[in-house]
Amino acid sequence: MLDKLTAKISDALRVVAGKATITEKNIDDAVDAIKMALLEADVNLRVVRRFVNSTIEEAKGEKVLRAVDPGQQFVKIVHDKLTAYLGDTKQDLQLKGPDTISVILMLGLQGSGKTTSSAKLALRLKKDGRKPLLAACDLVRPAAMEQLAVLGNQIGVPVYKEDGAKDSVAVFKDAMNHARKNMLDTLIVDTTGRLQIDEPMMAELSRLKDAAKPDELLLVADSMTGQSAVDIAKTFDEKIGLTGVILTKFDSDTRGGAALSLKTITGKPLKFVGVGEKPEDFEVFHPDRMASRILGMGDVVSLVEKAQEVIDQKEAEELRKKMEKENFTLEDYLGQIRSMKKMGSLQSMLDMIPGMAGQVSEEDIDKTELKYHEAIISSMTRKERANHLIIGPTRRTRIARGSGTSVAEVGRLLKKFEKMRTMMKKMSKMSRNPAAAQAMLGKMGQFQGR
């Protein structure tokens, strides 16, 4: 996710972040490097120009050059600017209370991810305590209704469809009645997409909009298409009117041009991003956290939140403390392997860890190894899991036999675990202090002689 952009920008910042004093030339160089990174990321030219001018002006002010820690000040300016372009603050859905039915219309071109995102949004709202109903109003593609029905079944959300129906407005009205009768409070309407924006499509959507009087009109756009996603949003907004955007396939978008230009060019907020094919692979969009990720500072808050959905809150807090104090045991590790399986795509999580974005990819993580680890730890006694230091040669042989692995494999796990504990300690400290993470990046840069 945004790997290329993150790599380039953190490189540019590394030069200034670790410095005790910085010059105007340092600032020019860093801004220049960031400018190149943004252009390569397919960020709209207007946005890039504004970014360059305002950053230079602010960074060359007294506040930065004379600051005790000018590098840090500069990083903060860049962080704040990126946050602003990404939309400033998180934009919640504007839905009515549970006594009236709220309607969300999902719009977008063919294959942009409307149907998948409808299901993802339904799951999200269900987790938030609402009672969603998915309405299949894409009547053009025969398989569309079935696809929605399968997804609804998978996430445990009801789907309203009428086989053979011809008029999406009629289906919508029936779906509304169905929601009313069944005490459901949020209607998510999946609509037809076409390859291009054309008159018949817009006419149908307008009719649907007039009938539905939706609370939210969300455009679903493929982030991989960069500026064209922004153009599409602009057109849809002019013709139909939008309340927000969902950018899909963010997991495969290494550049981020669409996300960074959208708000400035269209004035419409980015509300959610799709980060994978599974219904859970969906995130509320937080501009400030995304800015931190782009700067290579990670997004520990989202990571912890995601973990909290599967681990309970107390457990998550305990885990954090354990990581910090190096009290993290093999038992905890086993628990993590198991909850990781429930958390959805591993890549989207890796990118949230400070300093990890773009450094480690899902392929680098050996899933068979995790399976081995699970088997090995499962063959240990409780005492061994609580304190791995007691595991000597005899115990290793027993564990290897019990787990169907070898003594060497047990040894490798223990060595890896030891390393992991050290790294976790460092990371959990950094995560509480983004400035420290950035300073560490700076130091790494000096150390590597950059």
Ligand X SMILES: Nc1nc2c(ncn2[C@@H]2O[C@H](COP(=O)(O)OP(=O)(O)OP(=O)(O)O)[C@@H](O)[C@H]2O)c(=O)[nH]1
Task: Name which of 141 and 443 has its Cβ closer to ligand X.
Answer: 141
79 near ligand X (CB under 6 A) = no
Only one residue has tokens 């950053």, namely 55
Shortest distance in whole angstroms from residue 310 CB to ligand X: 20
Shortest distance in whole angstroms from residue 190 CB to ligand X: 7
> Using CB distances below 5 to 8 A depending on partner kind, what does residue 286 bind out of Mg ion, ligand X, none?
none
Task: Name which of 113 and 287 has its Cβ closer to ligand X.
Answer: 113
Q: Which residues bind Mg ion (CB under 5 A)?
A: 114-115, 144
CB 328 within 8 A of CB 424: yes
Strands (E) in 295-409, as ranges, are none
Q: Which of 39, 54, 88, 111 binds ligand X (CB under 6 A)?
A: 111
Task: Name which of 145 and 441 has its Cβ closer to ligand X.
Answer: 145
Q: Distance (Å, rounded) from C-alpha 434 to C-alpha 430? A: 6
58 near ligand X (CB under 6 A) = no
> Using CB distances below 5 to 8 A depending on partner kind, what does residue 81 bind out of ligand X, Mg ion, none?
none
Q: Distance (Å, rounded) from C-alpha 125 to C-alpha 133? A: 10
144 near ligand X (CB under 6 A) = yes
Stretch that binds ligand X, among 42-50, 248-256, 260-268, 306-314 (CB under 6 A): 248-256
214 near ligand X (CB under 6 A) = no
Cβ neighbours of residue 156 closer than 8 Å, sequence gap 6 or more: 126
Of 51, 21, 47, give the one whose Cα is nearest residue 33.
51
Q: Which of 70, 132, 152, 193 binds ligand X (CB under 6 A)?
A: 193
Cβ neighbours of residue 245 closer than 8 Å, sequence gap 6 or more: 218, 219, 220, 221, 233, 262, 266, 268, 269, 270, 271
Helix (H) or strand (E) holding 85: helix 70-86
Shortest distance in whole angstroms from residue 113 CB to Mg ion: 8
Q: Which two tokens stand for residue 291?
A: 């800015």
The dihedrals phi and psi of 331, each to the nearest 5 degrees, come to -60, -45
Task: Name which of 115 and 403 has its Cβ closer to Mg ion.
Answer: 115
283 near ligand X (CB under 6 A) = no
CB 258 within 8 A of CB 247: yes
Q: How many residues bind ligand X (CB under 6 A)?
A: 20
Q: CA Rg, the chain, in Å?
A: 25
The C-alpha angle 107, 89, 92, rounded to 5 degrees, equals: 45
Side-chain-side CA neighbours of residue 2 (13 Å): 32
132 near ligand X (CB under 6 A) = no
The residue sitting closest to Mg ion, measured at its beta carbon, is 115
Task: Name which of 77 and 136 has its Cβ closer to Mg ion.
Answer: 136
> Using CB distances below 5 to 8 A depending on partner kind, what does residue 249 bind out of ligand X, Mg ion, none?
ligand X
Q: Which of 81, 114, 161, 268 binds ligand X (CB under 6 A)?
A: 114
> Using CB distances below 5 to 8 A depending on partner kind, what does residue 111 bind out of ligand X, Mg ion, none?
ligand X
Q: Which of 72, 116, 302, 428 binds ligand X (CB under 6 A)?
A: 116
> Using CB distances below 5 to 8 A depending on partner kind, what does residue 296 bind out of ligand X, Mg ion, none?
none
Only one residue has tokens 């309203």, namely 160
Determine the straight-line distance between the first and last CA of the chain, rounded to whole angstroms: 25
Q: Distance (Å, rounded) from C-alpha 446 to C-alpha 432? A: 23
- Collect contacts of 394-403 with beta carbons under 8 A, ≥24 apart: 400/376, 403/372, 403/375, 403/376, 403/378, 403/379
Shortest distance in whole angstroms from residue 120 CB to Mg ion: 13
> Using CB distances below 5 to 8 A depending on partner kind, what does residue 112 bind out of ligand X, Mg ion, none?
ligand X
115 near ligand X (CB under 6 A) = yes
Residue type, position 97, single letter: G
Q: Which of 58, 251, 280, 288 binds ligand X (CB under 6 A)?
A: 251
Q: Which residues bind ligand X (CB under 6 A)?
A: 108, 110-116, 138, 141, 144, 193, 248-249, 251-252, 274-277
